């Protein structure tokens, strides 16, 4: 019963809000280019389903590629950094600087560097920059999170550095890495969309481009449809990663 109400309550609120929206639009005869009623958005969604799905896949694919790149680079750098305190001190401020600089500010630069013909490369690079930090800092924290007494045990039994890494530090880091990847997955999508906006060309043809394109043509209902598709895709990715996290942690703890 409680489960049912926790499921129904948000749906009911959404239904009421959509109803008010629809009614307001119809009663006021609001122009469609200013605020289309929900029904028009649904129609736009259905009419453009194919192209929206394709664009969503483009954006998703770029975000995932960026996530993989950020994982390799962030994870690798984290590994190096935990091997040397000096390296840690050297890398930290740069990593933080990269993290606090708004991606939109560096996006035009990257777009220039990637070349006008390759907006997709710029988008992947920018999304990877945003996704880098949570993976990097999560992995660094995880690699240094092992129980100090377990570290002593590895000293006692004369473990080699490789053994310490593969049998202690990496497994101990796993929950932190999973958490970092989950946060990074959300950021990668945001980064990809922001980068698409800045690239602003039709070369990449992701969801952000659909929003821009529809906006330029004053097809407001189609804009909304693309936003809905984007929200659905991001929510889907979030759910998948949340699920992976839950399963991963369950496996790690053994219950």
Site residues (CB under 8 A) for another protein? Answer: 147, 149-150, 152-159, 163, 167-168, 171-172, 174, 252-255
Nearest CB to another protein, comparing residues 113 and 252: 252
Residue 148 structure tokens:
């100090």
Write down the residue that tokens 């192209």 correspond to. 51
Nearest CB to another protein, comparing residues 40 and 177: 177
Beta carbon of residue 93, minimum distance to another protein (angstroms, whole number): 27
Nearest CB to another protein, comparing residues 27 and 156: 156
Beta carbon of residue 85, minimum distance to another protein (angstroms, whole number): 17
Q: Is-contact 202 209, C-beta < 8 A?
A: yes
Write down the residue that tokens 């000293």 correspond to. 155
For residue 234, give the H/E element and its range. helix 220-253
Residue 151 structure tokens:
């570290």
Beta carbon of residue 68, minimum distance to another protein (angstroms, whole number): 24
Beta carbon of residue 221, minimum distance to another protein (angstroms, whole number): 51
Nearest CB to another protein, comparing residues 141 and 167: 167
**CA-CA distance, 153 to 84, in Å (whole number)?**
21
**CA-CA distance, 61 to 158, in Å (whole number)?**
45
């Amino acid at each position: 019963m409680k489960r049912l109400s926790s499921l129904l309550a948000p749906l009911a609120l959404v239904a009421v809000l959509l109803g008010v929206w629809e009614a307001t639009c119809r009663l006021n005869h609001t122009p469609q280019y200013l605020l289309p009623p929900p029904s028009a958005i649904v129609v736009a969604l259905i009419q453009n389903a194919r192209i929206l799905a394709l664009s969503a896949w483009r954006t998703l694919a770029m975000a995932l590629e960026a996530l993989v790149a950020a994982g390799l680079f962030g994870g690798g750098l984290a590994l190096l950094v935990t091997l040397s305190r000096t390296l840690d001190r050297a890398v930290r401020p740069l990593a933080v600087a990269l993290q606090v600089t708004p991606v939109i500010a560096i996006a035009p630069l990257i777009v220039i560097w990637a070349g006008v013909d390759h907006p997709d490369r710029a988008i992947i690079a920018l999304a990877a920059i945003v996704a880098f930090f949570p993976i990097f800092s999560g992995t660094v924290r995880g690699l240094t999170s092992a129980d100090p007494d377990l570290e002593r045990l590895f000293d006692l039994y004369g473990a080699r550095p490789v053994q310490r890494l593969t049998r202690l530090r990496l497994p101990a880091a796993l929950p932190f890495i999973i958490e970092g990847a989950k946060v990074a997955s959300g950021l990668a999508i945001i980064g990809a969309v922001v980068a698409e906006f800045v690239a602003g060309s039709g070369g990449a043809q992701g969801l952000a481009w659909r929003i821009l394109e529809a906006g330029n043509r004053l097809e407001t209902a189609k804009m909304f449809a693309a936003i809905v598709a984007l929200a659905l895709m991001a929510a889907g990715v979030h759910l998948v990663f949340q699920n992976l996290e839950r399963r991963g942690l369950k496996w790690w703890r053994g219950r």
